[in-house]
Structure 1
Amino acid sequence: MSEKRVFIFGAGYSGMAFARANAHGARIVGTTRSAEKFEVLRQAGIAPLRFEGTLTPEIGDALADRTHLVVSVAPEESGDPVLNAAREAIKARMPALEWIGYLSTVGVYGDHRGAWVDETTACKPVSKRSVMRVAAEEEWLRLGQEIGRPVAILRLSGIYGPGRNALVSLEDGTARRLVKPGQVFNRIHCDDIAGALWHLAAKNLGGIFNVTDDEPAPPQDVVAYAAGLMGIEPPPEIPFETAQLSPMARSFYSENKRVANKAIKAAGYGFRFPNYRSALDRMWADGNWRNGAARSPMKRS
């Protein structure tokens, strides 16, 4: 990948994991909304630029020679911020562009009452943010068709990794074992997001890919497993009906599905962490579970 020149719109937790996995010396430029994060991006191997919804001359110049574009910016009511600002630049001022990767969410499938879904399942988003994601996916795929470039849509499940996992939440006292009978979630370690991105970028593969682990599981089981690794008692179980939750957290529990990942495997990618146990085991053994982004509960990108 030494010939690749990558631009990341939205170099946050997943984008920095992608940059840290740059094993071939690709040149990476990435954006953040805050200049205060520039040094963190530099440490991850990213030349930082500020993006606040406007195509600055600096961003325009950086895009001009990029071969690969990764987008990890959430859509807004006014549309996709990157497309709103840079659609024409991508179409007219990126002659070397070979491939686009867009990070989306499995939330686009909506609620399936615990049934399995895959890339052929129709999108029936429930939340407003997922409705906007579907619209953004369609816009990126349409742009790819217009310019004749492959677009990979990576639908991510609950993101975790160093600095963002059940071990951290147990240590800082924020872990809870909420129990809603039958509720399961898929998860994805940030290293597998990075691995899938590099794999698809290397082959310039487009399409829809669920980038998610093999084992949808109840969230309380993850906390209990992490507590076992730490040698501590897990927090008590709390019935979902009586739990104090933010509207955002409660909305996640309103959707229940098991997400299959056949397409990315068929493309040749092998998961480093196929389930939460293998990932927690590795982070605990390596002692790097505290490192990474600011501590926060698992959330979707």
Structure 2
Amino acid sequence: MKLLIFGLGYTAGFYAAEASHVFEQVTATKRAPEVLAEGRFRLLPFDGASDKIDPRVLDALGEADAVLVSAGPDTAGDPVLRRLAEQIAAAPKLKTIVYLSTIGVYGDHGGAWIDETSELRPSNDRTRWRVAVERDWLALGERAQKQVYVLRLSGIYGPGRSVIEKLRDGTAKRLIKPGQVFNRIHVADIAQAINACFAGSAPSGVYNVTDDEPAPPQDVVTYAAELLGVTPPPEQPFEATQLTPMARSFYGENKRTSNKKMREVLGITPKFPTYREGIGGLA
């Protein structure tokens, strides 16, 4: 089996490095890759804003059994669909498409538990674009008779990208906003979910990919500091702290995201069911 990945960010890069255990050939795209090979996979250029498409990308699509889409949307929609929707629909071997989205599409639910049937309340342009693109990918799947899985990811962490690094470089904060919780997922468990989709035994559709325990952000910082044997940063009231608009927007959304469908339908048992196991493996 052959895999084509659009958008080699943190999560897709982690998956690509592992995918050789599942796929005989892995090809990934970046807007302007510095090299044409990285580890066990091939890199090719792809820019959804350009009128030119590298013919090697079209060749890889024609040979692909599976596609992973990690490229984010913009004001014009999904860059992959914008340039390649017809070719994807007609790809002769392509059976399965996994689109990586975000639980941000749910917006704020006042700390209540939500699942895949909950109302979507996107609160900014980024998440409104995501809602539209999710629908476009699912519609392509129905039209072209391909299995399309939309994975709504919670806050991603893993090697090189966690509170551990922030504590070590002095950028960690312990912001206190009463009642606030965040949802998290270790990148290795995202990889599990992607593999389950490519296995094709679960029905296509939307799945939340998140761990078992939404938790207050300050608790995670305190726990990580204890593991490292360092003093946690001082508590700061959220309202009195200067933050970027994006960081502040995260605190404007409060929800507890259920992973019941991921567990029961995709058949995923998280390797890191809470932040404790996940951070413990990174410290």
TM range (shorter): over 0.9
In structure 2, distance between residues paired with 1:204 and 1:62: 24
Using the size of structure 2 for normalisation, the TM-score is 0.95
SS of structure 1 residue aligned to 2:27: strand
Offset at 1:34?
2.7
Any conservation in 2 of the 1:70–1:101 contact (CA below 8 Å)? yes
Aligned to 1:48: 43
Aligned to 2:216: 218
In structure 2, distance between residues paired with 1:56 and 1:21: 25
1:30-45 pair list within 5 angstroms: 30-36=28-34, 38=35, 42-43=38-39, 45=40
| Sequence identity (%) | 49
1:244-255 pair list within 5 angstroms: 244-255=242-253
Deviations 1:189-227 (A, max 9, x none): 111111110111112541110000110001111111110
Aligned to 1:296: none
The answer to whether structure 1 residue 237 and structure 2 residue 235 are counterparts is yes
Say which structure, 1 or 2, has more relative contact order (CA 8 Å, 6+ apart).
Answer: 1
Any conservation in 1 of the 2:67–2:96 contact (CA below 8 Å)? yes
The answer to whether structure 1 residue 262 and structure 2 residue 260 are counterparts is yes
RMSD: 1.2
Of residues 149, 153, 171, the one that matches 2:150 is 153
Any conservation in 2 of the 1:21–1:195 contact (CA below 8 Å)? no
SS of structure 1 residue aligned to 2:271: coil
Any conservation in 2 of the 1:18–1:195 contact (CA below 8 Å)? no
Amino acid at match of 2:236: I
Any conservation in 1 of the 2:104–2:122 contact (CA below 8 Å)? yes
The answer to whether structure 1 residue 168 and structure 2 residue 165 are counterparts is yes
Any conservation in 2 of the 1:150–1:204 contact (CA below 8 Å)? no
Deviations 1:162-208 (A, max 9, x none): 00001110001110111111000000111111111011111254111
Of residues 64, 67, 73, the one that matches 1:66 is 64
- Segments of 5+ residues of structure 1 without an aligned counterpart are 285-301
Offset at 1:57?
1.4
Of residues 2, 16, 32, the one that matches 1:5 is 2
In structure 2, distance between residues paired with 1:162 and 1:42: 18
In structure 2, distance between residues paired with 1:6 and 1:56: 17
Amino acid at match of 1:11: L
In structure 1, distance between residues paired with 2:96 and 2:47: 23
In structure 2, distance between residues paired with 1:147 and 1:208: 18
In structure 2, distance between residues paired with 1:167 and 1:221: 13
Using the size of structure 1 for normalisation, the TM-score is 0.89
- Segments of 5+ residues of structure 2 without an aligned counterpart are none
SS of structure 2 residue aligned to 1:84: helix
Offset at 1:271?
0.8
Deviations 1:98-128 (A, max 9, x none): 1000000000011000001001112111111
Deviations 1:26-69 (A, max 9, x none): 31100112322x37x612x2210111114321211111110001
In structure 1, distance between residues paired with 2:199 and 2:11: 18
Any conservation in 2 of the 1:80–1:136 contact (CA below 8 Å)? yes
SS of structure 1 residue aligned to 2:276: helix
In structure 1, distance between residues paired with 2:80 and 2:214: 32
How many correspondences in the alignment?
A: 277
